A and B are shown apart, each in its own frame.
Chain A
Amino acid sequence: MAPMPSPQERDAVTFSRDELRRQTRALERAQRAAESANAELLRYLFENAPAERRAGALLGGIDRRGLFRLGGYTVAAAAVLAACGKDEPEQTNVLAVSGEPPVFEALPNQPVDDIVLLRTATSLENTIITIHETLIQNGFIDDPAIIEVLRVFNAHHAAHAAAFADATAAAGGTACTGINQKMYDDIFAPILLTIANSPGSQKEDAKAFAYSMEQLSGATHQQFVATYSQPSLRKSAMSVGAVEGRHAAVLAVLLNPETLVVPAVASAAPVATTAPPTTIESELQTTVASATTSTTIPPATVSNVIVAVPSTFGSLGPIPLTYGEPNAEGVRTTTNLETPSLNSFMYVDEQC
């Protein structure tokens, strides 16, 4: 085994200095000769050669069009590499956004407890009072018998709201004293507006709306039974919900005494079997006028399911309400009324 060299031996020059100097002088000569040739070439290009040749020579054989092509290839290659690349962390469900993306504040996680349900129940009772009063005071309902029972209903709704407000306070919450503004603005106000602007169907629509609100109220209290934490609160809910059911039945008997119960096989919403009567002007004109269409508005009991006992068990499904005058195609507006849920509860931090 050879002995290890000392540090001095490792750093020592092991080739000839004369040979190094000879090679350096040879490189200098070659460099000078090459520079001379390049100088001749450049002189030729700038003084005698045409512009295309000059550009091609100076840019390494790439003309202007080729430069654009090269740029395109570069961009495409960058895209391919970016798509195939694994270096960046993978991002999913990210939409491309032009400019500064808006900043959204995450919705607070609101618990749905007894207090929220009681506040929502209170707000709905107050909302129904508002709607019934609107229907009466604007003359949308002018049948004295119906007005009389709606007044009784409203007295009951006021008592219900007060009872739920007391229950809210007893459970440690802040009682709701107003209407359910979310449901009113998004659902009920547009219906009222349509009824107000539909003189042809107004009376029938208003009756159907009043009935639907009583249906909705009863269904809401029934629905809340599944969510209340205490049997005593469930009992309170149905001590009110059953009365709302009575309201709906009383109104239904007034509006539709011919059908008190929906047979099980015919519980689906009624479907029009005949097209609405349409009258078209008979004389042809050179300038075609818009066709005059007259449509008979069916009674509320035909357009809507208004029956004293509509099902064997209390339904929690949507309550379809058809109202308003038909459009050009003869179609009337139908809105499905649904019991309050996550987006219409009156949470503890909401003004009510």
Chain B
Amino acid sequence: VDNLDTMQRDGEPPPSRRGILGALGLGGAALVASAVAASRPAAAQAPDTTTANTGSAGTQPVASTAPSATTVATTTTTAPPRRPTADDLPLIGAARVFELAAAEVYSRVSARIDEFGFDDATKAFVGDLSARHRAYAEQLGAVYGPGAPFAGSDKIAQQLGAEAIATATGPQVLQGAQAVEEAAVDTHLELLGQIQSVQAATLIASIQIIEARHAATLASLQSTPYDASAPAVEDGADAITAGA
């Protein structure tokens, strides 16, 4: 796996979103939540009896990167469960593990925040990312309840460039942080497609939309133009979890 030092040489144009994740070895990672042990028995609600009929509803390719097909489902009169089901717990736990790992990576960035030559606005923004991801982890833990995973995954932290931070330059930090945020957006998107609990889905949506703003802001700070190459929809292809 390449690290932040090998991702971009100073002076080179920043790569695309997918290129960043590919360089990090995160691209296309499958969502596997089984590594997260659901250590408490399910606060189990009855599993949802609804059946989702997935199919592809075409999206118009307005970007050079064709947006993924949007899945649709038939409507149902069965109300979705509010609290997490037994099947939801590993998924929520995976999201929490990811956020704890991201917070760990960013804590190393924050420790060196004065060394990167950022202006005040960038410094305030990047320096705040660790606390934000820790807040996400805390909220996910609250939804999970007793027995929530306590620590982040070292493997994910390494994949997100935790070790490379020690020697990364300012532009490399921005690039690596964008990769982290892109992976977070896609990871949460995939979880949203599987989690039954309305409470958990609502929380994850509120996290994911801000992480997308993190990613876009980091891209703008690298002067990456927002043009026709920008995907029209998120596709979830860069999702990772502890099992990846």
Q: Report which A residues bind B (CB closer than 8 A).
A: 113-115, 148-149, 152, 155-156, 158-160, 162-163, 166-167, 169-172, 218, 222, 225-226, 229-250, 252-254, 257-261, 263, 308-309, 311-314, 316
Contact = CB atoms under 8 A, between A and B. Distances in A.
User: Looking at chain A's contact residues, is the secondary structure mostly helix, strand, loop, or mixed?
Assistant: helix
Interface of B: 50, 52, 54-55, 57-63, 67-68, 70-76, 78-80, 121-122, 124-125, 128, 132, 135, 139, 185, 188-190, 192-196, 198, 201-202, 205-217, 220-221, 226-228, 230-236
B124 A115 contact: no
A263 B125 CA distance: 9
B62 A155 contact: yes
A240 B188 CA distance: 13
A233 B210 contact: no
Contacts of A113: 75
Contacts of A170: 55, 57, 72, 74
A235 to B, nearest CB: 4
Closest 3 CB pairs of A and B: A166-B57, A235-B193, A230-B73
B227 A234 contact: no
Nearest to B226: A250
Given A163-B59, A234-B192, A236-B72, A311 B210 contact: yes
B220 A253 contact: yes
Contact of B124 (A245, A246, A260): A260
Contact of A260 (B70, B122, B190, B228): B122
B213 A308 contact: yes
Most chain A CB inside 10 Å of its own CB: which residue of B55, B128, B139, B232: B232
Contact of A159 (B62, B121, B227, B236): B62
Most chain A CB inside 10 Å of its own CB: which residue of B52, B61, B196, B226: B226
A166 B58 contact: yes
Nearest to B230: A152
A246 B210 contact: no
A250 B74 contact: no
Nearest to A153: B226
B74 A238 contact: no
Most chain B CB inside 10 Å of its own CB: which residue of A166, A226, A239: A239
B195 to A, nearest CB: 6
Contacts of B52: 230-232
B60 to A, nearest CB: 5
19 contacts: A152-B228, A155-B228, A155-B232, A156-B62, A166-B70, A171-B75, A218-B209, A229-B50, A229-B73, A231-B193, A231-B195, A234-B201, A237-B205, A243-B234, A250-B226, A253-B217, A260-B124, A312-B210, A314-B210
A260 B189 CA distance: 24
Given A156-B63, A162-B60, 4 more contacts: A159-B60, A230-B80, A231-B80, A231-B192
Nearest to B133: A312
A231 B62 contact: no
Most chain B CB inside 10 Å of its own CB: which residue of A253, A263, A316: A253
Contact of A239 (B60, B73, B236): B236
A187 to B, nearest CB: 22
B189 A246 contact: no
B202 A226 contact: yes
Nearest to A254: B220
A263 B124 contact: yes
B202 A225 contact: yes
A328 B59 CA distance: 50
Contacts of A155: 62-63, 228, 232
A263 to B, nearest CB: 7
A221 B226 CA distance: 21
A308 B125 contact: yes
B163 to A, nearest CB: 26
B177 to A, nearest CB: 13
B84 to A, nearest CB: 13
A272 B50 CA distance: 52
Given A239-B233, A245-B210, A114 B75 contact: yes
Contacts of A261: 121, 124-125, 128
A115 B75 contact: yes
B54 A308 contact: no
Contact of A238 (B122, B135, B189): B189
A232 B202 contact: no
Contacts of B210: 245, 309, 311-314
Contact of B234 (A238, A247, A260): A238
B228 A249 contact: no
A114 B51 CA distance: 14
B125 A245 contact: no
Contacts of B193: 231-232, 234-235
A57 B76 CA distance: 87
Contacts of A115: 75
Contacts of B228: 152, 155
Nearest to A227: B198
Contacts of B226: 149, 152, 246, 250
